[in-house]
Amino acid sequence: MKVAILETIIPSAHEVEFNRGLVLELRRQGHEPYFLVPENFKFTDNYGVPITYLEGGSPITYRKAGLFKKLILSVTREIRRIRWFSSAVEKAKELNCDCIVIPTASPRYLRSIQHSKLRFSKLPVVVNMQLYSFERKGRLEQFRALAKKTLPFENIHITFCTHYHFIKDFKNVEYINPPFYGPSLIKSKGTYDGHEPIVIGLYGIYRKDPNTLTLLKIFAESEFSVPVKVIMQTVTNNERDQLSCDEIVRLYKDNPRFTFFDGFLFAESWQHAIDDVDIILSPYASKQYFYAYSAMCFNALGFKKPVIISDSVNPQLLDEYKVGLMLDFKNYEETKAKVEAFINNFKEDYPKYLAEINRAADVYSFENVVKGLLKYKAI
C-alpha cells in the first residue's frame, strides 16, 4: 500500500520516535510511506521518505508567545490546518495513495476535518490520537462531541494509542496498543549481564513532582547491598521546575551515587542514553498517564530495561506484565523497603523481568500499530 503520512506539527522527542518507528515498520511490511507536510516544514530527523508539501501556509509555533499572541496564533493555525487537510486530499490522489494517516493528532483535528475537504475523501483517513489525556474537566465531553460530528463521514476513522478504553459506544473510535520503542539508530549493548554498579536513569524534561523527590531521597539514603549509580537529566521548561531541579543538584551533587547532566538528548544520543542504563525511572504523580501512555516507560521497555514507576503511570500494563516495580508512594518507609528489595535482588530477578518484557513486546509493537492503522478500506 501507498501510505500518506499527514504531519502538520513539527515533531519533537516522542513524535520523532513514533514517526521513525512507523516509517520503518511500514517499509518492513512492504508498504510505501510518503510524508504530506505544510510548506517550509522543517523535519528534525531524516526519515528517508519522499516529501510532498501542502498548500495553505507554513507551520505555526507557540514558542515564546504570550497569552494574547497565542490566541491569535491558535486561530491562524486552525485556519491553516483546514487548508492543509483540504490540500492533502489532492496530493494523496496525485500520489495514488491508498490511505491517509495522521500519526499524532489531537481532538482539535476533528474540528478541522469538519470544515475541510478531508471529510469527502474516498480514501480512508485514520486520525491517530496519542499522549492525550482526559483528566481535565470537560475534555472527555469535548472529545465525544467532536467524534460524534464525524460519524456521518464514513471515511474518517479515529484510533487511540492507549490501553485504557474509555469510550466504547462510538463506532468510529477504536484502540491500538501503543508500541515499545526499541533501538532503531544504534546497535544496542544488549540485555543486562549482571554487571555492577546497577545504573539507573531519570531522563526527560524534569518536572517538580513529589514522587520524584521521594525516590531520589530513597536512592540517596538507602543502604543497598550492591553498588548503585543514578544518572539524572537536568533540563527544565520553566522557572518553578528549574528551582526544584537546582535544589536536587545542591542536595546530591556530593553524593557519589549521583551524576547530573544538563543537555538535550536527540536521536542517537537519546537512544545511547537509554541503552547505557539498566533501569529507567518514571515516577510521576500526574494522572495523565493513566489515560495516555508514558513515552519514557515505553522507550525503556523497548530497550529491555525494567522500570520503576508510580501507580499513576500505565498501571494497566504493569498489572498484566511484571516488567518492573510499581509504587504508590503513600508511605515513605514502605516505599523505601520496596525499592531496596528491588535493587538488591535485581541481578537475580532480571531474567524474570526480561521474559515479561518480551511477552509484552509481542502485543505492544509497531507491527500491530501498522496493522491497526491500515485495516480500513476506501469507500
Three cell numbers written together for 211: 514522587
Burial class (CB in 10 A: 0-12, 13-18, 19+), 215: buried
For the chain, the distance separating the N- and C-terminal CA atoms, rounded to the nearest angstrom, is 16
- As a whole number of angstroms, the distance between CA 306 and CA 320 comes to 14
| pLDDT at residue 291 in the model | 74
Taking Cα atoms as reference points, which of 101, 86, 130, 84 lies closest to residue 23? 101
- Of the chain, the percentage scoring pLDDT greater than 90 comes to 76
| pLDDT at residue 117 in the model | 96
Which pLDDT band, with edges at 50, 70 and 90, does 132 fall under? low
Q: Which residue has the cell 505492544?
A: 364
- As a whole number of angstroms, the distance between CA 12 and CA 14 comes to 6
Instruction: Find the mean pLDDT for residues 45-49.
Output: 89
15-30 pLDDT, tens digit per residue, is 888 999 999 999 999 9
Stretch among 49-63, 75-89, 128-142 having the lowest mean pLDDT: 128-142
Instruction: Find the mean pLDDT for residues 164-175.
Output: 85
**Pairing of β 2-6 and β 324-327:** unpaired
Q: Average per-residue pLDDT in the chain?
A: 93
The SS3 call for residue 219 is helix
| pLDDT at residue 266 in the model | 85
65 pLDDT more than 90:
no
How many C-beta atoms lie closer than 10 Å to residue 264's C-beta?
11
CA 308 to mean position of chain CA atoms: 17
379 pLDDT more than 70:
yes
- Any bridge partners for residue 54, and if so which? 38
Instruction: Find the mean pLDDT for residues 69-81.
Output: 87
Taking Cα atoms as reference points, which of 87, 152, 143, 98 lies closest to residue 125? 98
| pLDDT at residue 285 in the model | 86
**CB contact at 8 A, 32 and 49:** no
Which pLDDT band, with edges at 50, 70 and 90, does 62 fall under? low
**CB contact at 8 A, 152 and 183:** no
205 pLDDT more than 70:
yes
14 pLDDT more than 90:
no
Three cell numbers written together for 173: 473510535
DSSP for 248-285, written as a single string? HHHHHTT-TTEEEE-----HHHHHHHHHT-SEEEE---
155 pLDDT more than 90:
yes
**Pairing of β 173-176 and β 2-6:** unpaired
- As a whole number of angstroms, the distance between CA 220 and CA 198 comes to 14
Stretch among 47-51, 264-268, 296-300 having the lowest mean pLDDT: 264-268
Instruction: Find the mean pLDDT for residues 162-182.
Output: 88
Instruction: Find the mean pLDDT for residues 139-165.
Output: 90
Instruction: Find the mean pLDDT for residues 237-244.
Output: 93
| pLDDT at residue 131 in the model | 65
* Global pTM value: 0.92
